Amino acid sequence: MTAPWCDPNVVVTRSGVPPVSLALATEAVDGATDILNRLTGGQFPAPVTGDTVRPAGCRGYGDWGPPSLRGVVGWSLSVPLARVVGPWPLAGPEGGMYAGAGCGACGNLWGRELLLSGPVTTIAAVSIDGSPLPPAAYRVDDGHILVRVDGGVWPHCQDMTKPPTAVGTFQVVYNHGNPLPAGAVRSAESLAVELAKLWDPTIGVCKLPSRVTTITRQNLTMVAIDPLTVIKEGGTGLVDVDMWLASLKVARSTRRARIYTPGVEPALRHTG
């Protein structure tokens, strides 16, 4: 489940008088987060703090790959102007994937690169055989590739039955994901407030559109938009929320053009 996009306590404050309960606000935040995450195509994953992985490249796949690399999962062959990452991501709680089999042109040697979930914001700790590796021994390229720069290589095997403080183990603790933009947080708050009012009408009048399309009273006709129409168009019926959602669509359609050359791998950027 996606981490909450906003603080339930803020929803309680914004709900007015009488305020919603913290329990209901928490449920509403979860609902608003799920709705907005789906409407935005999952492009705003919440930041993850303290993600811990124990990469292992030889766990149960000893007969795959070329003879010189058997016993290594995620092996790859690097050639000039191209990097081909091995086709087998590491399964289970280990996480990570190895890349780089050796290339005279770029200096990439097998075992010096480890692919992590990105974008990586900070590397909290790296330990080998239970001992911390100094930060000067590695760097982050392209926001998700942990590169060994001290002349050593990453261990491709470890004993998963031992704790990470023992000899024969390898562990990486890191933070990844981008902070949510202000518009996402505010939109989640607004939608959560109205969801709470929808689920408990005693709190106040919900601003989410109802299914009534036309009402005539005393020669006065009022027209409401069918919420199903709004939802099909990727909206919620709340002006501030839909303005933010619409801005994302405009931003995607007005991006600068990019040029890609087949067979040429873009240069890596040192990002950490």
Read off the pLDDT of each residue in 146-157 and give the average, rounded to a whole number: 89
pLDDT higher for 230 or 156?
A: 156
Contact between 20 and 199 under an 8 Å Cβ cutoff? The reply is: no
Contact between 10 and 196 under an 8 Å Cβ cutoff? The reply is: no
Q: Express each pLDDT in 91-137 by its tens digit.
A: 334 455 555 444 434 444 457 888 898 789 999 999 999 999 999 99
Q: Which residue's structure tokens are 């890609």?
A: 260
Read off the pLDDT of each residue in 8-34 and give the average, rounded to a whole number: 94
DSSP assigned state of 156? S
pLDDT the model gives residue 119: 87
pLDDT the model gives residue 55: 86
Instruction: Answer whether 0.75 is exceeded by the pTM.
Output: no
- Alpha-helical (H) ranges within the chain are 8-14, 22-39, 182-199, 227-232, 239-253
pLDDT the model gives residue 47: 80
Confidence of residue 9 (pLDDT cuts 50, 70, 90): very high
pLDDT higher for 69 or 11?
A: 11
CB atoms within 10 A of CB 142: 17
CA–chain centroid gap for 262, Å, is 28
Read off the pLDDT of each residue in 261-270 and give the average, rounded to a whole number: 65
Q: Express each pLDDT in 237-255 by its tens digit.
A: 898 999 999 988 865 554 5
pLDDT higher for 209 or 270?
A: 209
pLDDT higher for 228 or 125?
A: 125
Give the CA distances from residue 248 to residues 3, 137, 160, 234, in Å, rounded to whole numbers and listed in that order. Answer: 21, 39, 43, 11
Q: Express each pLDDT in 35-88 by its tens digit.
A: 999 898 888 877 888 999 998 765 433 333 333 433 333 333 332 222 323 333
